[in-house]
Amino acid sequence: MPEAPKEQLKATYYSVAESNKKTLEFIEDLTKKADDVQKRVLAEILSRNAHVEYLKRHGLNGNIDRETFKKIIPVITYEDIQPDINRIAIGDKSHIFCSQPISEFLTSSGTSGGERKLMPTIDEELERRSFLYSLLMPVMSQFVPGLDQGKGMYLLFIKSESKTPGGLVARPVLTSYYKSSHFKERPYDPYTNYTSPNETILCSDSYQSMYSQMLCGLCQNNEVLRVGAVFASGFIRAIRFLEKHWSLLCNDIRTGTLNSLITDPSAREAVMKILKPDLELADFIEQECSRQSWQGIINRLWPNTKYVDVIVTGTMSQYIPILDYYSNGLPLVCTMYASSECYFGVNLNPLCKPSEVSYTLIPTMAYFEFLPVHKNNGKTNSVPIPKSLNEKEQKELVDLVDVKLGQDYELVVTTYAGLYRYRVGDVLRVARFKNSAPQFKFICRKNVVLSIDSDKTDEVELQNAVKNAVSHLMPFDALLTEYTSYADTTTIPGHYVLYWELSVNGSTPVPPSVFEDCCLTVEESLNSVYRQGRVSDKSVGPLEIKIVEAGTFDKLMDYAISLGASINQYKTPRCVKFAPIVELLNSWAVSSYFSPKCPKWTPGHKQWMNID
């Protein structure tokens, strides 16, 4: 994740080393006083917002202490505040959650009712996000010196935005950040020196943005010391883009002219400041890209790269082997943990193995609480989030410094923008402590079964989508007897695969076009983040249905039992990840069908479509 400039940069006598030292001392201090800081943060949030409708409604009566807050304010999920959020969306400007004006909505990749969740935010939060970014490079520079001597090649993109009926902009948090002055007008800083000019990042056409950024990255290849994207999936997409388009890119470098497909005037102008005819570089790139193997392509094209900066924790861990292949095992660095609701924390040991990454929550970002997650047979429960907690469960929440080593917790936040005791939906495990601040391993997002990029599909959504699709089989007297699913990331972009076992009683075989209709119906039924990934971001490929031979799911059960599953408790998993099981399923597949076109998707929420 790229970082924002530091305040100190404004000083004339700026020394990178001195500024880094100060930041590290600050982190040290924060982690020592984590509990005091948390207490202060909560008091600050509550006193500023003492008169907001939500807190008055619950009867907090201006109290700012932890005990009263915990006794009176309920632990909630998005659905509990959705009616209030809708009021803001349609233009209610009263102080519902926060005494400061809502500046925009951040659209989360988590969904509710098939649509992105809308997180109200305030201007001031941009500063808090910038602050978290500013911690990253001082931490990194302790382990990799000299990063101020070159550039970072980060492939960063904006996504489409919409307006709510009340006129507030709704867009993803990173789009909001890249379009803000915090990013666009950052003063020169050796740590925010990127190969991509701002204009190429801010280009709304994803092809032109990728092409321009890749071209600029190639032109400055020897200066690049680190490469990255936000999530691993995005970085892999960039490498696949290069695989497809390197000869066009080489041509531009050879001639010093920019492909006419790049029509965005600002992006063109910015690229032309960097692009110069360079025969030698063009020959070199051509030679490397036309080799049969792309193993180590990152090290070959950007020979001074010290690490790959991408998130590979959580569902992104599925991309580790392919990243290792392209980078010849360069360190994969996960620097931070963040969300639309709040930026949470940083990885203080960034060169550790991906499986050992833990994030230190920064106590100034929000007030954090932790709901213990009870494990089933040593595994974290995958049951859906219950609607509301009972009194006993509400009392189980603990503060940041009181979590127990090895225990899993669901993260609950109270933010400056006005979320109070809000369940983020992530499960974290306490891996160790830095002074009194715990460091958490990211375990999972509750109840997500399938994910390729930022899409997150839960079991209920999958079940409904399959139910809608099987109606196409009825005229053929064919029934779906069992199914499971798999996020196949061996294709780029990755795609969802459904394995279907059918019982066919009719005499007419089901034509391929009907299975294709089934694929499309599943896609049409999935949430808007999935459909946006298919239509706009092209981060997810066409959904595939593989028909497996009769008896497959019985064999799958036998296999699971042979591995120790209990015969009484065995349930067909709705999603499989274990490679041998996927191989078995593939070996029993008799036919396969893909979605013939993209599902429907338009920016904005479906419920706003009829409102002017």
- Binding site residues, ligand AMP, CB under 6 A: 108-110, 173, 311, 313-314, 334, 337-340, 424, 426, 442, 445, 454
Give 414 or 595: the residue with its C-beta nearer to ligand AMP.
414
Give 234 or 542: the residue with its C-beta nearer to ligand AMP.
234
Give 168 or 334: the residue with its C-beta nearer to ligand AMP.
334
> Using CA atoms, how far apart are residues 316 and 154, in angstroms rounded to an integer?
17
Give 1 or 281: the residue with its C-beta nearer to ligand AMP.
1
> Using CA atoms, how far apart are residues 483 and 597, in angstroms rounded to an integer?
23
Crossing angle of helices 579-587 and 552-562, in 10° steps, is 150
Give 135 or 311: the residue with its C-beta nearer to ligand AMP.
311
Q: How far is the CB of 361 from ligand AMP (least distance, A)?
A: 12
> Using CA atoms, how far apart are residues 261 and 532, in angstroms rounded to an integer?
23
Q: How far is the CB of 336 from ligand AMP (least distance, A)?
A: 6
Q: Which helix (H) or strand (E) holds 6?
A: none
Contact present, 452 and 533 (Cβ < 8 Å): yes
Q: How far is the CB of 289 from ligand AMP (least distance, A)?
A: 31
> Using CA atoms, how far apart are residues 325 and 316, in angstroms rounded to an integer?
16
Q: How far is the CB of 439 from ligand AMP (least distance, A)?
A: 13
Q: How far is the CB of 221 from ligand AMP (least distance, A)?
A: 28
Give 308 or 498: the residue with its C-beta nearer to ligand AMP.
308
All residues at 6 or more sequence positions from 371 whose CB lies less than 8 Å from its CB, including other chains: 75, 389, 393, 396, 397, 409, 410, 412, 423
Give 306 or 456: the residue with its C-beta nearer to ligand AMP.
456
| Alpha carbon 91 to its chain's center | 29
Give 40 or 441: the residue with its C-beta nearer to ligand AMP.
441
Contact present, 167 and 91 (Cβ < 8 Å): yes
| N-term to C-term CA, the chain | 38
> Using CA atoms, how far apart are residues 131 and 20, in angstroms rounded to an integer?
13
Q: How far is the CB of 465 from ligand AMP (least distance, A)?
A: 21
CB-based burial label for 342 (10 Å; 0-12, 13-18, 19+): buried
Q: How far is the CB of 298 from ligand AMP (least distance, A)?
A: 21
Q: How far is the CB of 184 from ligand AMP (least distance, A)?
A: 20
Classify each residue of 558-575 as buried b or exposed e, where b means 16 or more C-beta atoms within 10 Å of its C-beta. Answer: eebeeeeeeeeeeeebbb
